[in-house]
Amino acid sequence: MNFETIKTRGERFMANFNGQTAVITGGAQGIGLATAKSFINDGCEVMIWDIDEKMGVEAAKELNCHFLKVDQTNNNLVEEVTEKTLNQINKIDILVCSAGIAGPTYSTWDYPVEEWSRVFDVNVNGVFYCNKHVVKSMREKNYGRIINIASIAGKEGNPNASAYSASKAAVIGLTKSLGKETADKDIAVNCITPATAKTRILDQVSQEFIDYMISKIPRNRFVTVEEVASLITFLASKENSFTTAGVFDISGGRATY
């Protein structure tokens, strides 16, 4: 099945985000950009955080939203940018942590230590810093929705991708912990575990690895960023008022638990 011919199945979930604000990390491309478009279409005011300034400025111009350059591996910078964001848009109702990297493909015994650290710095430490600083303002207002983008790899483990798999498992654990810690308020913290999506992150891995990933998906195709954005839109909505500390599968039938 040709990926380019795939369209989002059915109508996407429509949320009422009027008067709400959202921060989307990695919002300049891929799943983050598709989510920003979905939110804005539903009336949300969006702030994109991204390390790529050129793409971030272009995305903000295209979508008529806000942008701040952020290196999420720097805790102090994330704290500063959180304050800047609150000064610009007054509050943060929704946080979507979409920024992440795949890292190279090596067997575990050959995996370069510096690459392992780099993957964890972005995928785990960066998500922790964003969750840590943004949730404080949500707790003050007794409202918030956080969606962390994990991966099916975090549940099953992919061969020759131990750093990525382990980092996404850590995101699942972080989400469950924070969701339980904030369950006494109207704050929902959930994560999703997509199968591979056709994004630029695939530029970081080999064709052999890409072929393997498709072979694992019963749908026999990658998920579209629009399909992922539709699930995120529901999880970010007021309608999602009960489920927290949850892990939502969107793997095309791959997940076994």
* Tens digit of each residue's pLDDT (9 = 90 or more) over 215-230: 989 998 999 999 999 9
Q: At residue 14, does pLDDT exceed 90?
A: no
Query: Could you tell me which CATH number the domain at 16-250 has?
Result: 3.40.50.720
Per residue in 72-119, pLDDT tens?
A: 999 999 999 999 999 999 999 999 999 999 999 999 999 999 999 999
Q: Domain extents for the chain?
A: 16-250
pLDDT of residue 200 exceeding 90, the answer is no
- Percentage of residues in the chain with pLDDT exceeding 70? 94
Q: Which residues of 102-137 are buried (b: 16+ CB within 10 A; e: fewer)?
A: bbbbeeeeebeeeebebbbbbbbbbbbbbbebbbeb
**Does the pLDDT value for residue 124 go beyond 60?**
yes
pLDDT for 230 equals 97
pLDDT tens for 24-76 read: 999 999 999 999 999 999 999 999 999 999 999 999 999 999 999 999 999 99
Confidence at residue 127, expressed as pLDDT on a 0 to 100 scale: 98
Summary mean pLDDT of the chain: 93
Residues 203-213 have a mean pLDDT of: 78
Secondary structure (3-state) at 137: helix
Check pLDDT > 50 for residue 4: no
Share of the chain above pLDDT 90, in %: 83
pLDDT-derived band at 12, boundaries 50, 70, 90: low
1 CB contacts (<8 Å, ≥6 apart)? 220, 221
* Greatest pairwise CA separation for the chain in angstroms: 51
Q: pTM score, two decimals?
A: 0.92
Helix, strand, coil: what percent of the chain each, to 5? 45, 15, 35
Q: Report, as residue numbers or ranges, the catalytic residues.
A: 164
